């Protein structure tokens, strides 16, 4: 078993203050493959102290120095690219192709995006007699999830480094190895001591002390809405900035004038990707009631072509879900869908045929779902699609917005028509006709899907404070 027992604090790999370990489980075979240390508030104190001490010097580095640092990080990341992809496959079950071409790729993409933003960004501007200055916010605490692990780490770390912040990262204890490798990347790339720190652990042991720490100036959290609420409460006493990227239950409106085969097939594959473990997954497909029977046939065929299996095997479409906890939750929600009267179109409870080990979920599709059913209200976070019929466009928009979430949305149809519908959705992102991600577009949600934005210039500016120097240009 591999051991990752040290934390990265103040430029060194150090032992935890207290000895407490956790086995990391490979979800494909349910067997432990690594051992990590679990931190406490004492480790948090050490890491935050290092970040605080490093901030005065790092915050005053030049733009050129930070450009060169990001370039160095990207070069080392490329050297370790295969290691990062392999770790993600082993710890959270992403098929090799997805880990290599999407999961690990997002890390280098965020680094490059922020490098290009930094090159062009003006940190000072004049408005009449006043100089407006944008300065790094300070010490940042990053709490990241297991579903797109290196993506969520780099979309926080890259802009924070670019603007001159220092930081402490607590990655998910469920999938922590990619973060450990990333810390090695930053060390080799020459990130100054104390600027980046890594402490493994769980929410109560590390996440809560980080969120409430008086010397942390900002918390950026990605995860469940339930945990995000706890982070906000912990941070409130010290009035620090809190950025939250939380859950979703995204509506996917298929309009009357959509290419039905293309829209439905693409949407099923989009929902099943990453085993449905994406906060912005198109989990509620809204279709014209008159076309639901045709949609069911297309969706069934698409779902049955999705192969759940060994992430290291050729031909696998989706791997396992990440853990036994997630597996049991998803199974319970599939059963709930059946009990509440939804029509099971494909998949269903239990593992795929012939599989008796690993946290594999059958690609599942329900039809005749109403928006008051549990599977339409709760974020399942598994390969489970709900098809909801609508009578008219107004009802479709009403159903789409009838949720506590507002992270993403999808509209498919004739482009001008789709744009008009998209304008009426209360959500942070809308994908028209299955448009892919844009790293320069802001990513974040309305309502209980969070606050603040990540990615691109909007994410870059989350890590800046604004200072007005009055009389700067007085005659």
**HEC secondary structure over the chain:** CEEECCEEECCEEECCCCCCEEEEEECCCCEEEEEEECCCHHHHHHHHHHHHHHHHHHCCCCHHHHHHHHHHHHHHHHHCHHHHHHHHHHHHCCCHHHHHHHHHHHHHHHHHHHHHHHHHCCCEEEECCEEEEEEECCEEEEECCCCCHHHHHHHHHHHHHHHCCEEEEECCCCCCHHHHHHHHHHHHHCCCCCCEEECCCCHHHHHHHHHHCCCCCEEEEECCHHHHHHHHHHHHCCCCEEEEECCCCCEEEECCCCCHHHHHHHHHHHHHHHHHCCCCCCCEEEEEHHHHHHHHHHHHHHHHCCCECCCCCCCCCECCCCCHHHHHHHHHHHHHHHHCCCEEEECCCCCCCCCCCCCCCCCEEEECCCCCCHHHHCCCCCCEEEEEEECCHHHHHHHHHCCCCCCCEEEECCHHHHHHHHCCCCCCCCEECCCCCCCCCCECCCHHHEECCECHHHHHHCCEEEEEECCCCCC
Q: State the catalytic residue, choosing from 173, 245, 379, 462.
A: 245
CA distances (Å), origin 234, targets 227, 272, 453: 11, 35, 20
CA dihedral (326, 332, 335, 340) positive or negative? negative
Q: How far apart are CA 305 and CA 308, in angstroms?
A: 10
Residue 98: how many other CB atoms lie within 10 Å: 23
Q: Is 90 a catalytic residue?
A: no
Token pair listed for 309: 């299996």
Number of Cβ within 10 Å of residue 53's Cβ equals 14
Does the CA dihedral 248-254-258-262 come out positive or negative? positive
Looking at the annotation, which residues are catalytic? Answer: 245
């Amino acid at each position: 078993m591999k051991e990752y027992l040290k934390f990265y604090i103040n430029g060194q790999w150090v032992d935890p203050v207290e000895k407490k370990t956790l086995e990391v489980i490979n979800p494909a075979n349910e067997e432990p493959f690594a051992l990590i240390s679990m931190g406490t508030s004492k480790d948090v104190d050490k890491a935050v102290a290092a970040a605080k001490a490093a901030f005065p010097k790092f915050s005053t580095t030049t733009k050129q120095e930070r450009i060169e640092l990001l370039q160095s990080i990207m070069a080392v990341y490329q050297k370790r690219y295969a290691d990062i992809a392999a770790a993600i496959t082993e710890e959270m079950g992403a098929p090799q192709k997805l880990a290599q071409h999407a999961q690990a790729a997002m890390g280098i993409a965020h680094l490059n995006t922020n490098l290009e933003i930094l090159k062009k960004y003006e940190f000072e501007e004049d408005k009449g007699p006043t100089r407006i200055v944008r300065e790094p916010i300070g010490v940042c605490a990053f709490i990241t999830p297991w579903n797109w692990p290196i993506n969520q780490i780099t979309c926080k770390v890259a802009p924070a480094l670019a603007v001159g912040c220092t930081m402490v990262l607590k990655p998910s204890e469920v999938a922590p190895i990619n973060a450990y490798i990333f810390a090695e990347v930053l060390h080799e790339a020459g990130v100054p001591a104390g600027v980046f720190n890594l402490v493994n652990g769980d929410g109560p042991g590390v996440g809560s002390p980080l969120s409430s720490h008086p010397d942390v100036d900002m918390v950026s959290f990605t995860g469940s809405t339930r945990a995000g609420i706890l982070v906000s409460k912990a941070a409130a006493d010290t009035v620090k900035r809190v950025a939250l990227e939380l859950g979703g239950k995204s509506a996917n409106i298929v309009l009357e004038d959509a290419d039905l085969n293309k829209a439905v097939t693409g949407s099923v594959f989009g929902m099943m990707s990453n085993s449905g473990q994406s906060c912005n997954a198109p989990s509620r497909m809204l279709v014209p009631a008159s076309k639901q029977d045709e949609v069911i046939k297309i969706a069934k065929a698409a779902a049955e072509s999705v192969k759940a299996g060994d992430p290291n095997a050729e031909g696998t479409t989706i791997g396992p879900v990440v853990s036994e906890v997630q597996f049991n939750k998803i199974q319970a929600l599939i059963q709930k869908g059946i009990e509440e009267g939804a029509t099971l179109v494909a998949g269903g409870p239990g593992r795929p045929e012939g599989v008796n080990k690993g946290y594999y979920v059958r690609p599942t599709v329900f039809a005749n779902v109403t928006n008051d059913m549990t599977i339409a209200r709760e974020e399942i976070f598994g390969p489970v699609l709900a098809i909801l019929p609508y009578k008219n466009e107004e009802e479709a928009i009403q159903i789409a917005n009838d949720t506590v979430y507002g992270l993403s949305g999808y509209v498919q149809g004739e482009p001008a028509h789709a744009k008009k519908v998209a304008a009426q959705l209360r959500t942070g992102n809308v994908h028209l006709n299955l448009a892919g991600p844009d790293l320069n577009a802001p990513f974040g949600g309305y309502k209980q899907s969070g606050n603040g934005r990540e990615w691109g210039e909007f994410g870059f500016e989350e890590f800046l404070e604004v200072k007005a120097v009055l009389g700067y240009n007085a005659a």
